[in-house]
Amino acid sequence: MKQGIHPKYNTDGVVCTTCGTRWQIGTTRQNLRVEICSNCHPFYTGEQRIVDTAGQVDRFMKRLSASQDRQAAIEKQRTVKNQPQPKKSLLKELYGDDA
């Protein structure tokens, strides 16, 4: 290995600027900082919440309910259409309900 051509190897580690957690790693850069880590990230801590920006969740729920209503109406039409028609008596047709 040639001397003087390789970067300096540091074992300072990484620091999370949000929660202050430190990890000891080997790196060629000094004072590595990250904004968020697995100790303070909402996904890993279980505090994740749905952020409803511009009513996206409400719009989705409206579209979902409209789709479900439309599917229910189509299914109702299918059941009505597929029901057997009551047979008409030829006598009732000719003579009316009095026969």
Q: Order of strands across the sheet with 14-16?
A: 22-23, 14-16, 32-34
How many structural domains is the chain composed of?
2
What pLDDT was estimated at residue 55?
A: 81
* Residues across the chain: 99
- Residues 59, 43 share a domain: no
Half-sphere exposure for 28 (CA within 13 Å, toward CB): 4
Q: Are 20 and 40 in contact, with CB atoms under 8 Å apart?
A: no
Q: What is the average per-residue pLDDT within 4-8? A: 88
- Residues 61, 33 share a domain: no
What pLDDT was estimated at residue 10?
A: 86
Q: Convert the pLDDT of each residue in 24-75 to its tens digit.
A: 888 888 888 888 888 888 777 777 666 666 788 888 899 999 999 999 999 9
- Residues 54, 42 share a domain: no
- Residues 33, 9 share a domain: yes
11: pLDDT confidence band, cut at 50, 70 and 90? confident
Higher pLDDT, 11 or 52: 11
Is there a domain that residue 95 lies in? no
3-state SS class at 81: helix
- Residues 72, 55 share a domain: yes
Is there a domain that residue 29 lies in? yes
The yes-or-no verdict on residue 98 having pLDDT over 70 is no
Q: Which domain holds residue 29?
A: 1-49
CATH code, domain carrying 23:
4.10.80.400
